[in-house]
Amino acid sequence: MVNTVPSLHVPLLLNNNGAWCWFQDERALIDPANNTMLVGSVAAPEGPGGAERGGNIEVAVLDLATGRSRVHVLHGRLESDDHNAPAILIRPDGRYVAMYAKHKTDNYSRWRISTRPHDASEWEPEQHFDWTELADGRGATYSNLHHLREEDRVYNFVRAINDDPTLMISDDHGSTWSYGGKLFTRPKIGYVNGYTRYVSNGTDRIDLITTDHHPRDFNNSIYHGYLQNDALHDAAGNVVSKPLTGSAGINQSVLTTVFEAGITLDGDVLTHGWTTDLRRQGNQLAAIVTCRANDVNGPLQREQMLDVDDHRLLYARFDGAGWELHPLAIAGPGLLPHEQDYTGLGAVDPNDLDRVYISTPVDPGTGATTPHYEIYRGTTADSGASWTWEAITEGSTVDNLRPMVVPGDPSVHALCWFRGSMTSSQAYQTEIMALISSPRG
């Protein structure tokens, strides 16, 4: 069941030059203590500021009362690459931690801590963790920050050793860091191992979904597990790896399967899964998965790389006992010719698992194609079996990409995305937008 409700929205411009990848979190947070929203991104030389700004690691701060925003630079001209977007955490003392890394081009995880609580205008000097000996010089990528109150420990999940999901730990709220071990490992096929998304309950548990490898190199399934009490569990609660701290890593296929490569849904054979988003409410989880429909069932050969023209977004729901997988929307062809599994992506609302936002060049309500990627809001009353759609952007002259709903304050509903043109993860002319409303607005 689908229908489209027309609407008009007036977004705010947060940053006139910036983008992000989707394997860093939280890329954006609302700080209810000062009624602001922080959004991390990376500037590109194609945008305003040119080469002098390209590669800046930035945090835009929006005053939710006035609608005014200001951009602060964490590291000038680090590297022009959307993979380097910072993850942001609010410490118990109110100060911010921002962590970022290059895209496999050096061996450092970098971080800065704000000088004052609830104030992103000034930051202490940058520090770094050196992965060189641990990772054999293969580089580090991504940052994902999660604080568990019961342990009073902060975790940072990085792609590092053997290009596997690897963790750092801090017992002083991000001031200093140590190596924590590996989550997963297996013989590497192609580019990297395991694209992982994380979500925390903030108390004692971090859930994750992960792939086998990169979807262009392997026909990925997607698996779910969670970290708790220094152990990795499958969805049913069975311990599959303990202790977690210092672990050499396990094969992620021992976890619970959320998406099985080759599954048929609504008559379509779906392959090459990729993790897109994961959110949690209570004991329930919701995930968005990207995959190919009716395409080659195996690694692509070079001559096939331009023949990936039908991607799908799927919605997966975990009710505390098991996963249900449903079709969500058509995602269109590959966004970039050399990244055949890139799409406009989608996001689950962290305050309402029955609501999602997607970016696609195909209207999910009518099936009509559009000249550019537009943002749509979907709502479900039956845990994802059917959807009602509303257009958030319409008639755009540029693409609207990679939406995210910003967590941190359930009383504020904040949707962010970037719009413009993107030719690669290193070259884009995009600006960051936000739409702020009441929770049900």
Measured in residues, the chain has a length of: 441
Strands (E), 171-304: 178-182, 196-200, 206-211, 222-228, 231-234, 239-241, 256-259, 263-265, 268-281, 284-293
List Cα–Cα distances, 172 to 92, 112, 123, 179, 204, in angstroms: 10, 14, 17, 14, 17
User: Residue 302: phi, psi to the nearest 5?
Assistant: -55, -40
Alpha-carbon span 91 to 112, nearest angstrom: 12
* Mean local confidence (pLDDT), 317-327: 97
CB 41 within 8 A of CB 24: no
pLDDT value for 296:
58
Quick one: tokens of 263?
A: 């599954």
User: Residue 163: phi, psi to the nearest 5?
Assistant: 55, 35
Query: Taking the mean position of all CA atoms in its chain, how far away is CA 283?
Result: 21
Alpha-carbon span 37 to 125, nearest angstrom: 23
6 pLDDT above the threshold of 70? no
- Residue 285 neighbours by CB distance under 10 Å: 24
Let me know the angle formed at the C-alpha of 26 by 134 and 387, rounded to the nearest 5 degrees.
125
- Of 276, 269, 266, nearest in space to 360 by CA: 276
Alpha helices, DSSP H, located in 172-218: none
CB 274 within 8 A of CB 289: yes
Percent over 90 (pLDDT), the chain:
90
301 pLDDT above the threshold of 60? no
* Mean local confidence (pLDDT), 113-139: 95
Quick one: tokens of 94?
A: 């109110």
pLDDT value for 136:
82
pLDDT category at 138 given cuts 50, 70, 90 is confident
CATH number, domain 4-436: 2.120.10.10
279 forms bridges with which residues in the sheet? 286
Query: Taking the mean position of all CA atoms in its chain, how far away is CA 297?
Result: 26
CB 256 within 8 A of CB 226: no
Alpha-carbon span 225 to 222, nearest angstrom: 10
Q: Where are the domains of the chain?
A: 4-436
Q: β-strand 119-123 against 127-130: which pairing, if any?
A: unpaired
List Cα–Cα distances, 107 to 73, 99, 129, 214, 425, in angstroms: 21, 14, 8, 21, 19
Q: β-strand 346-349 against 323-332: which pairing, if any?
A: unpaired
pLDDT value for 179:
97
Which helix (H) or strand (E) element contains residue 433? strand 427-437
pLDDT category at 48 given cuts 50, 70, 90 is very high
- pLDDT, tens digit (0-9, with 9 covering 90-100), for 228-241: 999 999 999 999 99
Quick one: tokens of 297?
A: 């069932």
Three-state DSSP state, 239: strand
> Where is pLDDT greater, at 305 or 115?
115
Alpha-carbon span 260 to 239, nearest angstrom: 22
Average pLDDT over the chain, rounded to an integer: 93
- pLDDT, tens digit (0-9, with 9 covering 90-100), for 59-106: 999 999 999 999 999 999 999 999 999 999 999 999 999 999 999 999
pLDDT category at 437 given cuts 50, 70, 90 is confident
- pLDDT, tens digit (0-9, with 9 covering 90-100), for 191-212: 899 999 999 999 999 999 999 9
State the Rg of the chain over Cα.
20
Three-state DSSP state, 47: coil
List Cα–Cα distances, 147 to 42, 152, 328, in angstroms: 24, 7, 31
Three-state DSSP state, 329: strand
Q: β-strand 231-234 against 4-5: which pairing, if any?
A: unpaired
